[in-house]
Amino acid sequence: MALRVLGLSTSPRERGNTDLLVREALRGAESVGAAAEYVSLHGLAIGPCVECYACAATGGCRVADDFQAILDKLLAADRLIVAAPVFFMGVCAQAKLLIDRCQCLWARKYLLRQPLYPDGPRDRRALVIAVGGTKSKKMFECVGMTMKYWFDVLEVRHAASLFVNQVDGRGDILKHPSAMQEAFRLGAALADAAAPTPERPATVELFGPAVPGRARGGPDGG
C-alpha cells in the first residue's frame, strides 16, 4: 500500500514561501508513489489550549473546533511534512496553536500511559520546513526544539529539515537557486519506503540571500 504523506502548511500567507515549499515536497513524495495530501491551516478555526486538563482524564481534547479533524489526519499519516514560517524566532502562531492542542497526546502518553497505536508503534517520519526573512540562523534551533517535543507525542521520527533564511517577500522562494529542488528531493526521500530509519534529522540549511538586498532587519545583525 502507498505511504500516506500529509503536507501541513501552517502559514497564514497562501502561496507564501513555506506553502510553496510544502507543495513541492509533496510533489516529490508523489513522484515515488506516495499518496499525498495537502492541508493548510489557513481558514481553519483552531483555538488555543485552554489548560482545562480535561484530557488528563480522557486523553482527548474537549475544545470543539477544527483541531480534531487535523489531529485525525496527523495520526493517520505515515509521513508528515510540516512547514512553518519563523515568526519572532519560533514557529508562527497558527502552527503553535495546533501543537499546543496536542497536549491531549501528552496526557495520553505521560499521564494515562495509553499507547497512541494499540496495534504497536508505527514507522512514522517527518520533514520540517521553515523559512525566515532575516540572516539569523538561531531561529531554526527554536523551531527544531518545538518540533522535537511535538514529534515525541505524535510518535513520529524527525527525519529531515529544510531551513531557509533571508527569504521574506511572498513567493520569493521561487527566486531561490535551490530551495524548491531541495524540497522536492527531501519529499521524495521522506516517502521512500525502503529508506533506512534515520538516527537523527538530516538538515539542509540554505543560508544566504536568495534576493540580493532583501533580507529583513533584526537585532542579531540580520
Ligand X SMILES: Cc1cc2nc3c(=O)[nH]c(=O)nc-3n(C[C@H](O)[C@H](O)[C@H](O)COP(=O)(O)O)c2cc1C
- What residue ranges bind ligand X (CB under 6 A)? 11, 13, 16-19, 85-89, 131-134, 136, 139, 167-168, 170, 216
What does each C-alpha distance from 35 to 84, 87, 128, 155, 162 come to in angstroms?
22, 31, 19, 20, 21
Shortest spacing between CB 22 and ligand X, in angstroms: 9
Shortest spacing between CB 108 and ligand X, in angstroms: 31
Please report the DSSP string for 62-100 in residue order: ---STHHHHHHHHHH-SEEEEEEEEETTEE-HHHHHHHH
Q: Is 155 exposed, middle or buried (0-12, 13-18, 19+ CB in 10 A)?
A: middle
Shortest spacing between CB 136 and ligand X, in angstroms: 5
Shortest spacing between CB 209 and ligand X, in angstroms: 12
When CB distances to ligand X are compared, the closest residue is: 16
Place of cell 522562494: 173
**Residue nearer to ligand X on the CB measure, 7 or 133:** 133
- Grid coordinates representing 15 are 502561496
Shortest spacing between CB 196 and ligand X, in angstroms: 31
- Grid coordinates representing 84 are 512553518
**Residue nearer to ligand X on the CB measure, 49 or 95:** 95
- Give the chain's end-to-end CA distance (angstroms, integer): 46
**Residue nearer to ligand X on the CB measure, 80 or 139:** 139
Shortest spacing between CB 112 and ligand X, in angstroms: 36
Beta-carbon contacts of residue 148 (< 8 Å; ≥ 6 apart): 158
Nearest CA-CA partner of 166 in 96, 97, 220:
220
